[in-house]
Structure 1
Amino acid sequence: MQRRRFKETSSLEERLDQEAMRLREHKLLPPGWLREQAFRKARQMNIAAHINEWLASPGLRAPI
């Protein structure tokens, strides 16, 4: 059985930012558990994007 593989068209950081923006659109929901969960997930997406950017920075490259 072979795994299906596909090439991502956008970077991880772009996908995380887009998902965070999509989740922030839930601000129209009434205050409550679902709205808080959406905002919490959006913050997690932003943090993940920043961590990914930090890990990919040239300052963290292994010495040659």
Structure 2
Amino acid sequence: MLAEFNLFGVFISPIAVYAIAAIPVTLMIRFVLWRTGAIEWFWHVALFEVALYVSVLCLLVLYV
């Protein structure tokens, strides 16, 4: 678990760092799903992408 992140004298919460780190991971998984056509399996694509982001964020918080 990360401690507070110091950015030019301003302390940033660890969840903010995790949230920013989860964006590229989510975009990479999303790109793979779009290229393979697996994204068509889901009824509401936007809702799935939000759920994917939240899942990635939770996994980062738990395992990093």
Which TM-score band applies after superposition, normalised by the shorter structure?
Answer: 0.3 to 0.5
Pick the structure with more strand per residue: 2
TM-score (norm 1): 0.36
Rg larger for: 1
TM-score (norm 2): 0.36
Pick the structure with more helix per residue: 2
